[in-house]
Amino acid sequence: KEKAFKAQTEFIAMGHPLLEAVINAILTLYAKSAADGATFIDPEGKRDGILWFLEAEIKDGKNDIAGKRLFAVYQDRNSTLSFVNPAILWDLKPEAKRLENSEIALDKDAVVSLVIGEGLENYKKELLERRQRDAEIKRKYGIRSLESMILDSDVKISEYETRRMKGEIIPEATIQNEVRKKEDLERKKQRLRREIEAEIHLYPTDPRILGAVRVLPGKVHGDMVSDKEIEHVGMKIAME
């Protein structure tokens, strides 16, 4: 980050146009490969099932994408479904041979239903909380600022009318200019209100299945099995 502040360097992270373009290019080039599926080995020998990857979007009242998220769902041999971190793939080992047929029933509908009913609803709540905070800022500063300017304009128009009634010559064009200014401010206020309402009106789109991975348990030697208690002690010592 320190180097990014120098004139000839630029910090590239998530959201940067270049990185987003690279990600989109990768997704486009390898979309078919992902859809074909793959086989991975769990080195710890614990998982034996299907790992589903789905992409879903939340849109707002303007039909703009409010957020996009990658979901990973693990389906075990008993067809029990649970959400897992998509990064779990890094802990698995790719298998050269891809299984043509899986002995586990692929329940796509159940996976999609889980993502819609739980995953997307929770994600929608996260986005809504964020958008409501932004909306409150717009109401507090945007709407109130416009209301203040409308009030000032209204006062000016009243003053012009009062001065005219007292015999002062006030050009009609001056009054009409202020009237048009007030009307323009009122339109901006209504437009901003509609925009705020549209931004907090969120709805999910149907999830899209990107691919599925068959996870097979690998052969594990006794001394290679992970022990949560030992890991916890190790982390505690490291933190000290």
Q: Which residue has the higher pLDDT, 185 or 11?
A: 185
Q: Which residue has the higher pLDDT, 97 or 52?
A: 52
What is the token pair recorded at 187? 């339109």
Q: Tell me how far apart the alpha carbons of residues 6 and 122 are, in angstroms, rounded to a whole number.
A: 40
Measure the CA dihedral 86/70/113/82, to 10°: 20
The structure tokens 């982390």 sit at: 235
Q: State residue 181 phi and psi, 5-degree precision.
A: -60, -45
The pLDDT assigned to 19 comes to 82
Neighbour count for residue 187 (Cβ, 10 Å): 11
The pLDDT assigned to 18 comes to 87
What is the token pair recorded at 201? 């009106």
Q: Out of 37-41, 45-49, 86-90, 118-122, which region has the weakest mean confidence (pLDDT)?
A: 37-41
Band the pLDDT of 4: cuts 50, 70, 90.
Answer: low
Average pLDDT over residues 194-222: 88
Band the pLDDT of 222: cuts 50, 70, 90.
Answer: low
Write out pLDDT tens, residues 195-208: 999 999 999 999 99
What is the token pair recorded at 22? 């690279």
The percent of residues in the chain predicted with pLDDT above 90, rounded, is 56
The pLDDT assigned to 97 comes to 67
What does pTM read for this prediction? 0.70
The pLDDT assigned to 112 comes to 94
Nearest Cα neighbor of 220 from 97, 42, 39, 88 is 42
Write out pLDDT tens, residues 119-150: 999 999 999 999 999 999 999 999 999 999 99
Is residue 8's pLDDT more than 80? Answer: no
